[in-house]
Structures are given as structure tokens and as C-alpha cells.
Structure 1
């Protein structure tokens, strides 16, 4: 539906790419709508990104994150979020994945309650990928999406499908192909704006949204900016105030100290918080990168049962339920192992144990990355959560301190763990540069978050002196260079995704790892090569 012309500024967003085939998405009115969002939000977005860097500089100088003194009244106040729409009252299993056509159909048909269509960590944001995703989601909302595989198999939507929730990119990511008055637009606003412009009215008519997942927030002010953007979009599109609903991923260490504040900033439209566990581990590493006493052991040992992650999960549940919001659990990254029944059963046992931990702790739902895991997770939640959610479980027994949220976990670093980090970071980066943002590696579905953990751990182990393997051999750059060369050669000679990008990925990973400063995000320098 076109936006009323009298509401729009005459300026349009400018596209710096071939738009052939995307004329129905990049219409003049849609581009004017993007420009309006940009003009309203860009100055504040830049200010908030500068505030991130200022906070990180304080952490690098020795400070530690903490609860805010200036927002105590919000944390201690008696308030609740707006009522949750019927379509989102039961979210016991959510499936996530990129905005690829076949994936969208399979996910919507998977039996999950919600499908999070991801423009962010499981997508490589080439302009073509992002615009194809917009077309795919438009067709999915309309119910007309179909796909025929090269082998001739046809895919179409079932009669009943999951509720669609869209995750745009985080505030920090640019979309260099779209400018307004010479300024590069935020990828977040391009993703959000195009989806809302083309689909919000139909979704609202169906009482299915539009609904969004908001990633990578670090502070209540960043949540408040999203609230302002959504309110503006509702006004521009003649939609009822508050009809756009949001779930916020708590996937940064600074954000865990502001969960009440984030809910309050979005209280008229927020429906829950989510334990974005993998990004949260990465953020712990990044935020505390200068603190030698906060090193973590190898990735496989950093499970949700370790003290700082258990505290994070339980505090999220308590915070959400006190405010009438959902507390969503984290991602199960396992994928089925074909041809090895014993190995597959072991992997599924890990999924069941993880989901049992979540549901008994009080989470209202959970995430999976593969359709085959939907019935596995659903069976656990059905058995232990016969009601649509657990909002009545207030977890008043939980008392989490700052020190508990920052406590490092015990563990070790094996040569195998070091080797795996190099391989995962390299293979994922190569696939990402080749246009894939969701990559199966050793029976786990790796996305940008898990690759970030791998490369951040490598940086920390190498830049803090005296870090050793379990056999007391030192971890040094000579070994890193040797292992990286080995995996680069293997990838180059393989049929894995991104094999032809092996050398470019290795050069990028080497530069980031050798650099004296840990880069904030792998995807920012990689985006320049995409």
C-alpha cells in the first residue's frame, strides 16, 4: 500500500546497484519511506554507536559493566508491558534461518510456532540476498510462495504455518547500496523499512503483526530508538499505534544489566526477551577483551550450565515474568547426523537435555536451527509446559549479582579446541564472503555468532601472554599461522561452501587475529569484500 504523499519528504533513498528484477520492491514510494526513516533516526543512531565505543573504552581501561544507578526507579518500579497478541501467546518452539526461499517454506511448514526470518546473523548481506529475501517474504506473507528444486521437487506452504517474525540487521551494520542525501543507510532500517512497507497492512489484517526480533542492543536508549522508528512507521503507514511488536535478543553483555530498562523503553510493543546465547558469549569475550582474568576456556566447555550463563538465563526469566513478557530460550545448533545412528542419538540427547534445562528453569519457548529438531524440542516443552507459556512462574528465588554475571568459568584449552576455532572461523568467513550466512560444519549449524566466538577466543588466547594448552605447550602466533595455513589449504582443495574464497578469508582472519585491537565485528570488515 502506498504511503500518502503528503506525509513524505520529497527526497528518496538512492540505490547504488543494479535494480533489475527488484522494481516491485524498490518502488519510488518505498524509497521515500526509507528516506523518512533515515532522516528521523540517523543522527541518534550515530550518537548511540559513539556511546558504544565510549563504553568499550572504559571497559578496556579496567572498568566493568554494572547496573545503572540513574535507572534504579525503572528497575524497582511496578509496571508491566502491554498485553501480548493471541498469535504470540504460545511460542514453545521457534525455528530460525535465513530469508532464502526454500528455507522459508520449510520453516513455516516445520510445525514450529514461530519462524524467525533472519536478515542478520544467518544471512550474508549482499544486496541481492537482502532484496531476494524481501521478495521471498512478501510472497510468504501473501501465501503464494513456491519453490522448485533443480531436481524438480516442488515446495509450497501448508494450510497451517508458523507465525512470521523478522529480524533486521543490528544498528551497527551499514547498507552501502542505499544512501539518503549522500549518507549510507543503516542496514537495520533498510530491512525493517522494506518489509514493513510491503507487508505490514496484510499482516495486521491477518492479526499476525508485523512482528520483529531486534538484535545486538546494548542499552535502553537503543531500544528507545527502535520504539521511535516503529511508531513513525505506524503513523506513516496508517497503522494503529503499537501494532508492531518486538522481541529483543539479550545477546550483549552490557544489555544484561539493562533488561528492565529495555523492556520499559519498548513497553507498549515488546512481547519478550530472548537468550541469544552465542552472541552473548561473544559479547562477553569482546566486552572483557582487556581483562586477563576473564579469559574463557575453549568453546565446547562454555555451556549454559556454567555460572555466568546460568545467572544470565535465570535473571532474564525473572525480569521478563515480573513485567509480563516472555522469556525465550536459546538456540540448539545441532543438525541431524545421517548415516551414524549412534552419533545422531548423542546429538539429539544434547538437544533434549538443553531444552529440559530451559523449560524447567521457566523459559516460555526455545529456538532450533533445523526442522528435524522441532519435534524433539516440542516434545520436551509439551511434557513440562502443558500451558501456552509460563508467565506465572515469577522465579522470585533468583537473586543475581553483578559479580555472578561477570564470573569467568573454569576450563581448559586443548589443541583440538584451538584447531576447531581456526577451522570454524575460516570456513564460515569463506562461505560468508561467497554469499552464505548459515553453514553446517561438523554437524553444527554455524552462523556469524559462533564464528565470532571462535575468532574472538583466538585473539584473546594469543594476545594475553602465558596462555597454554592442557599439555602446557604455549599458544602462540607461530602455531596459529601454521594451523590457519593447514585449514586454508584443505578448504581450497575441498568442495565446501566458500572454497574459492579460502585465501581471502584466511587473509582477513589473519589480519584480525594479529591486530593489536580485537575488532568489534567480523562482519564489518568482511562486508567490504562481499
Structure 2
């Protein structure tokens, strides 16, 4: 029945059409009910997404012309008002350590079994969204919610299955800027966010609610409260369609763009029936600082390694997020520890010490929890948050930061001091090269030089160099950063990467294609919004 209906739609180019190749198991995923929900969401909400993206461009044009981001004067009453979010479900009150990762089957099992409170299953920055991976990812999460997910490694034969008490599952959908080209509505590619949301919700809400949890989501890359309002309408529509109590769907919003930090109260207000937390998406936030202020020569950042959370503009961001969230009864989640445990005992001790220092700062500021990228860091992060939160509380909502002086726009925009080094520039090139190569091969979560990198860190790496070129900055050794210098370094660092990975891996990989893409987006006169946009074209061209 459902297959016949889809074939009719594909022929007519009206309604919903699945145009991707067939993936094993998709017939159970694209049931009549799931397809009907996705079609309804596209009919009601898809057309508004280009409008919201157009608003982003208009705001950016004003900033490019000399304006600076600021708190909105016409929403002052919301910031001054005495209101709170609706409430937090019991299984989301304690989120002191969360692990993140893509929706691959073994990863899902290992993450849910990790010694953490929450697993954020990611369809966004740590997943290269090939059609196969997004379909299999939905199947994997459905099986995880049912409790019957298993996996046997083909080479070792090692078997993986869920432990009796897995972490709470939260699904991160794609950002509004990303399309799903393998599903069309009235002949146009649909928003990836609606695809991810609709399928996860439809296949899992009953089981989740029945066991005392719920359909929980992470929303990435928001830039304004109007985008939050769009999501609130989507949630309300689905809750009404399935006769659920208002607020049954819960979400956490990542504050990972510079414009959004000035609208945190408004984002919480628009989503007040559904939202439970905001999160400091620090790496994307640094990228957004570069991207938003790209035409302001006095806001050029130094080496990525110098931009740490105790940098004034990032410290202000963290403290304002905590103060805003706790005033409204929402949790304030900290950022990512991207380190990977090292095999060498001495190196591993240094890794753990850096993680401890980072998490100590977050916990002391008043964050209610934090992120790790590897299960081996969970105990270290948990020990720190246990010490600050203790046994009597589930979180730090009682820390209001009311004694803090008001955080001004100037603090959130404060320029960052530090060197621009040749070593840092070359490292940026190698990181971006290796990440882009992995991404266009279909892998969005990549261990590089002891860090688990996702799209955000590659974005910082290439955007920093773009910014240095555009504003004629010099490195600490006096070299002027030009397009020609970058191209020369790119050739040299590509050779170094070949040496590091080995000739066979290099030959069978896509490093040359990655270098071409990296050069295009770095020497472009206009900063490309997201490297995943041209990357998606490459990723899907071979499907």
C-alpha cells in the first residue's frame, strides 16, 4: 500500500517522493504512517525554511556593513519578564555527563552503554549524511529504543548489545540549512531537519513514553528566536496530530552561533512548552564568531589553540548562558571535551589533566553537565561534576549567578588576543584536509592528532585562514598571509599528510579531491557558509 502510494507520488512530482536508492530495511522505516507525517510536516512547514534562511542573510548583510550584533530592543519585555519554562522530565533532570556521536550501529550501542547520563545520537556535525547512513541511523535508533539492538563486528566477531540500564537517548537533527536531497516534496528537496525529526518521532514516541521517557531532541545552529518559534509550531502540530499532551516533545537548543547568544531568553520563551536546556556548542560558536564578524578587521581571531574557554568573549558566553537558563528553570549544558585517551600512560595523564581543567571551569561556573566524545573520558568528567553537584542535587539550577554584573554586548564581542603562527596555520590545513577527506568518504566523526574532530573544528580551521587572508594579517614570523602562501602551504601539507597516512591509504582515499575543495572555499572572496554544503554535493554525487 505505502510502496504503491510512493510510486504514484514519484511519477506525479506532487506530494512526497523518496528518490534515494533502496536501503536494506527501509520498507519498515517508510511505513504509511511515517510517510504521512513527513508529508504533512513538509506541507505545513517546509516553505518557511527558505524565508528563515533569508532572514539570516539579511542580518548578516547588516553586520557586514558595519553593524554589530546586539540584544533586540523590541523583545526587552521578554528579557525583563518573570516567566519560566514548563518543566523538565525526571530522566532529563540529571545530565551531568553526556556523550555524543554519530548514529552508526556499534557507536549507538557503545554510547548508550557508556558511564554517562545521556547519549546524543547525532544526524548533524558528526555524521556525513549519505542516504544510506541517515536511513540506517533511523533504523539503529529505532532498534535501540526497542532494546533489541545488536551488532557483530565482521572482522573480529566481537558481539555488542545493550546493557540493562542504558543512557537516556536524545536525537540531534540536522540544521535548517541542510537539505535531504533523497526525499522531495512537490519536486523540491526537503529540509533534513524535518526528515530526521519526523522519522525518529514517529517510530519511537510510543515506546519512549511507555517507559517513562519521551521523544527528546537536540536542535542545532539556531540563529534567532524566529527559528525557535518555527520549531515550536512543528512540535505543537505533531503533539496535536498524535493527541499528546502539550509539551510531550522535549528539546535542548545548542547556542552555537553568535546571533543566538543575544536571543537566549527569547529562544527559551518561544519554546517554553518544550525546551529543557541550552547548550554551549563552543566549537561552532567560535566558527560563528569568525563568520558573523568576518568583515570586521578588529575581530580577527588568533590560532585556534589560543581560543580557550577562559578567553573573555567565551567566558562571557558561558556565564550568560548559565544565568539565563537558571533564571528560567532550564538546564545549562557545557561544551565538548574532544580529546581521545592516549595509549601511552604519560600522554594519557596529560590528556586527562586537560579534560579535568576544562570541566572544572564549567562546573565552577555553574553548568549542569558537560559533553565528552569518548567513553574513556566519562569517569574523569563525572568525578568533577559529582563533586560540584553532589548527591543531594541532580543539577546546579540553584546557582543563579544573580550577583554577577550584567553581561554586556561588548563583552560577548570582545576581540581575542593571541598569536597567529605558521605552525598553527599548517596544523589548520592538515586538520581540514583530513576531515574533509573523511567526510566526502562518508565519515563525519574523525580522530585526528588525539582529538575526535567533527565538522565544527574543520570549519574553524578553514575559516581562520580565510579571515587572515581577507584582512591581510601577518603570522608571528612576519609572513603575510595571502592566497599564494596558503596554496603553497596546502601543497606542502598535502605531502605531509601523505607521509603520515601512508602511500596506500593516500592513493585509495580522496585527499586530492579534499585539497581541491579546501582551496576553493579558503581562497573564495566570499566566505562559504558551511563546508558541508559543497561537501554534500560531492557526497551525494556518487549515490
1:269-328 deviations in Å (ceiling 9; x for gaps) = 100100000000000000000011000000000000000000000000000000000000
The correspondence for 2:269, drawn from 247, 264, 267, is: 264
CA–CA distance in structure 1, aligned partners of residues 46 and 195 of structure 2: 12
Cα displacement string for residues 339-364 of structure 1 (whole angstroms, at most 9, x for unaligned residues): x2222111110100111111111000
Out of 221, 228, 246, the residue aligned to residue 226 of structure 2 is 221
Please give the per-residue CA displacement for 1:60-90, whole angstroms capped at 9, x wherever unaligned. 1111100001100000000000111000010
For 1:398-477, list aligned pairs within 5 A: 398=404, 399-465=406-472, 467-477=473-483
Indicate the SS of the match to 1:283.
helix
Within a 5 Å distance, the mapping from 1:33-432 to structure 2 comes to 33-149=37-153, 150-338=155-343, 340-386=344-390, 387-398=393-404, 399-432=406-439
Instruction: Give the SS at the match of 1:184.
Output: strand
**1 CA distance for matches of 2:23 and 2:173?**
23
Measure, in 2, the Cα distance between the counterparts of 1:99 and 1:237.
26
Q: How many residues in Structure 1 have an aligned counterpart in Structure 2?
A: 522
Q: Residue 511 of structure 1 aligns with which residue? A: 520
1:500 aligns with 2:509: yes
Q: What runs of 5+ residues in structure 1 fail to find an aligned partner?
A: none
Whether the aligned pair in 2 keeps the contact of 1:12 and 1:32 (CA below 8 Å) is: no
Partners of 1:78 and 1:383 lie apart in 2 by: 32
CA distance in structure 2 between the aligned counterparts of 1:475 and 1:259, rounded to whole angstroms: 36
Q: 1:309 to 1:183 in 2, by over 3 A?
A: same
TM-score by length of 1: 0.96
Of stretches 31-40 and 136-145 in structure 1, the one that deviates more from structure 2 is 31-40
Contact 1:107–1:115 (8 Å) recurs in 2: yes
Deviation for aligned residue 1:205: 1.2
Deviation at 1:492, TM superposition (A): 4.9
Shift of 1:12: 4.7
Aligned to 2:444, the other structure's residue is in SS state coil
Give distance in 2, aligned partners of 1:285 and 1:49. 19
Which ranges of structure 2 fall in alignment gaps of 5 or more residues?
none
Deviation at 1:45, TM superposition (A): 1.4
Cα offset, 1:514, TM superposition: 1.0
Does the residue aligned with 1:72 lie in a helix, a strand or coil?
Answer: helix
TM-score (norm 2): 0.94
Determine if contact 2:264/2:324 at 8 Å carries over to the other structure: yes
Q: Distance in 1 between matches of 2:335 and 2:367?
A: 10
- Rounded to whole Å, the distance in 2 between the matches of 1:96 and 1:129 is 17
Offset at 1:241? 2.0
Query: Counterpart of 2:384 in 1: which secondary structure?
Result: helix
C-alpha spacing 1:70/1:478, structure 2 compared with 1 (3 Å): same
Equivalent residue for 2:530? Answer: 521
* Aligned equivalents of 1:225, 1:74: Cα separation in 2: 18
RMSD: 1.6
How far apart are the structure 2 equivalents of 1:497 and 1:276? Answer: 32
* CA positional deviation for 1:471: 1.7
The alpha-carbon distance between structure 1 residues 249 and 497, as it changes in their structure 2 partners (threshold 3 A), is farther
**Structure 1, residues 419-474: CA drift from partner, whole Å, max 9, x if none?**
11001111100100000000000000110000000010010011111x11112222
Structure 1 contact 14–31 (Cα < 8 Å) conserved? no
Report the Cα distance in structure 1 between the residues aligned to 2:43 and 2:361, rounded to whole angstroms: 45
Q: What secondary structure, in the 3-state scheme, does the structure 2 residue paired with 1:23 have? A: helix
**3-state SS, counterpart of residue 74 of structure 2:** coil
CA contact (8 A) 2:498 2:506 kept: no
- Which shifted more, 293-302 or 230-239? 230-239
Tell whether the 8 Å contact from 1:434 to 1:498 is kept in structure 2 after alignment.
Answer: no
Query: Cα–Cα, structure 1 residues 190 and 12, in superposed 2: closer, same or farther, change >3 Å?
Result: same
3-state SS of the aligned residue for 1:272?
Answer: strand
Q: Deviations over 1:174-209 (max 9, x none)?
A: 111110111210000001111111111111111211
State the SS of the aligned residue for 1:24. helix
Pair 1:497–1:224, CA change in 2 (3 A): farther
CA contact (8 A) 1:223 1:265 kept: yes
